[in-house]
Amino acid sequence: MRVRLAVLLALPLLLAAGPAAAADPALQEARKLTSAAMVEYNVGRFERALELYTKAYERYPKPVLLFDLGQCHRQLGHFERALFFFHGYLREQPNASNRPLAEKLLDDSQRQLDAQKAAEAEAQARAAEASRAQNAPPPPSSPATAGEPLSPLASSAAPTPPPAPPSPMLRVAGLASAGLGVVLVGVGAYAGLRSASLSKQISQLSTQQGTWTPQYESDYQSGKSLATVADVFLAAGAVALATGAALTWFGWPKATSATATVAPLPGGASLGLVARF
């Protein structure tokens, strides 16, 4: 209550001005502004009170208004500005009757300002620490198994899976197809030989101008049929042999390594090939 009443000292001092100053329009306006500022201050509207006290000081710059301005700034938490106005008041009014109160308010504003700056510095330090933590690189990841060393290529390339082993079913199918091909070629070759034999007999008959008998007619037709059978069986046998060779090749284990050696011999050389499956 003492602090708030001290603010109200400005208005009585302005009202106590001499008769000559009473007619001053600037003083009259300053009184009105100060009266309105006192009301705003007493109801806690310190921003509005500060605005009115500032206008009153601009109209009628008396030191007592510096004290009121300091009080408004102190109530608003503007401690650095409060110190400015309190120091100005004591500089202009070194023998003021309320000097002990002004000095007490000075000390209190200084403590509040120091605490305010300390809180701001702590907040800035925390913000800087949070920023450094956010921008810090992530820690290196630990190995999957503790104590097990990682190879240099473990993180860059996955191990190449071993090739699938050849299927024995391919080898069986290939050998069977090749066997069928051999049989077909054999049948075709026999039919071809038989057809050639009959054709030779017919040719000899034609050369000797022999008599054409039903038997020769039958042999002639048989030779033609056997020739056709020979062509068909030989073609089918060739296809079966090729298919069997391909299936056997794909199904047979491939050599994983091979070593060739050449040895000189009298009049030539010998070549040795060793393959590992």
Total structural domains within the chain: 2
In this structure, is the dihedral angle defined by the CA atoms of residues 27, 33, 39 and 41, taken in order, positive or negative?
Answer: negative
- Decide if 268 is inside a domain: yes
Alpha-carbon span 16 to 13, nearest angstrom? 5
Alpha-carbon span 270 to 161, nearest angstrom? 39
Question: Residue 216 is part of which domain span?
Answer: 168-276
Count of residues in the chain: 277
Average pLDDT, the chain: 79
Least confident piece of the model among 2-11, 153-162, 245-254: 2-11
pLDDT of residue 104: 96
pLDDT of residue 4: 47
- Decide if 47 is inside a domain: yes
Cβ atoms of residues 6 and 101 within 8 Å: yes
pLDDT of residue 254: 59
Say whether both 6 and 116 belong to one domain: yes
Say whether both 20 and 99 belong to one domain: yes
Say whether both 56 and 115 belong to one domain: yes
Which CATH number does the domain housing residue 35 bear?
Answer: 1.25.40.10
For 20-64, how does the pLDDT look when each residue is reduced to its tens digit (9 = 90+)?
Answer: 555 689 899 999 999 999 999 999 999 999 999 999 999 999 999
Give the tokens for residue 211. 């008599």
Alpha-carbon span 198 to 106, nearest angstrom? 142
- Decide if 209 is inside a domain: yes
- Decide if 159 is inside a domain: no
Cβ atoms of residues 244 and 177 within 8 Å: yes
Strand partners, 88: none
DSSP label at residue 44: T
Last residue of a domain, one of 108, 123, 138: 123
CB contact set of 122 (below 8 Å; sequence gap of 6+)? none
For 140-155, how does the pLDDT look when each residue is reduced to its tens digit (9 = 90+)?
Answer: 665 555 455 544 544 4
Say whether both 118 and 172 belong to one domain: no
Say whether both 104 and 189 belong to one domain: no
Alpha-carbon span 73 to 101, nearest angstrom? 16
